[in-house]
């Protein structure tokens, strides 16, 4: 199927870019069809699951997320894997920095396991998924995020079995975190 963009208008670019895009698709019978969609471009991101096989634990974070609050999460708090937006750096450099800022752990070799579009009908973001082992010798600060980014992150060390139970109970509702925990479970990391 061939496609072509015929018009792209910026609706908002205060923090991220929100566009109205008109495009055409060539259908199977050769006819071109015009469509219009709103597209949210927030750049790409990276996420990581820190895990400790000896202790059977993972490191997660907890923070307030306004979109979830606006959609029925009464506290607005979300339990998530460490993650961040990629700016002018590779996904590996980004997730290493974000891990230190958010969790306080200095990791050296994050391993990329896959990448995915998280909401491809409306969002351009590709999310790069990583895993890394951790231990207490890697803890160099308290974590909690960056004050200048208004981050107020609680760092949680959770037994892996408990994290899986939290997915089942609905306490963990974040898609990227569920994907990472399921990856760990399917690949017998813990």
Who contacts 46 (Cβ-Cβ below 8 Å, separation ≥6)? 83, 84, 86, 91, 92, 94, 95, 98, 127, 128, 129, 130
The pLDDT tens digits for 68-96 are 999 999 999 999 999 999 999 999 999 99
Can you give the pTM of this predicted structure? 0.93
- Cα dihedral sign, 100-61-153-41: positive
Looking at every residue in the chain, the average pLDDT score rounds to 96
Of the candidates 151, 50, 57, the one whose C-alpha atom is nearest the C-alpha of residue 108 is 50
Predicted local distance difference test score (pLDDT) of residue 1? 84
Distance in angstroms (rounded) separating the CA atoms of residues 123 and 133: 31
Architecture (CATH level 2) of domain 45-186: Alpha-Beta Complex (3.90)
Reduced DSSP (H G I as helix, E B as strand, rest coil) percent helix, strand, coil of the chain, to 5: 25, 40, 35
- Range from 7-16, 21-30, 109-118, 141-150 carrying the lowest mean pLDDT: 141-150
Q: Assign residue 85 a region: left if phi > 0, alpha if psi is -120 to 50, beta otherwise?
A: beta
Q: Taking 90 as the threshold, does the pLDDT of residue 150 lie above it?
A: no
Q: Which residue has the tokens 């909690």?
A: 144
**pLDDT bracket for residue 155 (50, 70, 90):** very high
Distance between the two ends of the chain, CA-based, in angstroms?
43
What pLDDT is recorded for position 151? 80
What are the residue boundaries of the structural domains of the chain, listed by start?
3-41, 45-186
Per-residue tokens: 150: 């208004």
Phi, psi of 37, rounded to the nearest 5 degrees: -140, 150
Among the ranges given (106-110, 136-140, 144-148), the one the predictor scored with the smallest mean pLDDT: 144-148
């Amino acid at each position: 199927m061939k496609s072509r963009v015929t018009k792209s208008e910026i609706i908002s670019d205060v923090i991220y870019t929100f566009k109205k895009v008109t495009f055409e698709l060539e259908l199977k019978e050769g006819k071109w069809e015009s469509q219009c969609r709103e597209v949210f471009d927030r750049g790409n991101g990276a996420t990581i699951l820190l895990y400790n096989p000896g202790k059977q634990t993972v490191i997660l974070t907890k923070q307030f997320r306004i979109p979830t609050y606006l959609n029925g999460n009464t506290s607005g708090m979300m339990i998530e894997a460490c993650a961040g937006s990629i700016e002018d750096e590779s996904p590996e450099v980004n997730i290493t920095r974000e891990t230190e800022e958010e969790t306080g752990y200095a990791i050296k070799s994050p391993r990329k396991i896959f990448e995915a579009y998280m909401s491809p009908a409306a969002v351009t973001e590709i999310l790069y998924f990583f895993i890394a082992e951790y231990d207490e010798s890697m803890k160099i600060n308290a974590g909690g995020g960056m004050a200048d980014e208004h981050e107020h992150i609680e760092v949680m060390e959770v037994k892996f079995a408990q994290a899986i139970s939290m997915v089942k109970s609905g306490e963990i509702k974040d898609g990227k975190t569920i994907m990472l925990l399921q990856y760990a479970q399917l690949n017998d990391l813990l």
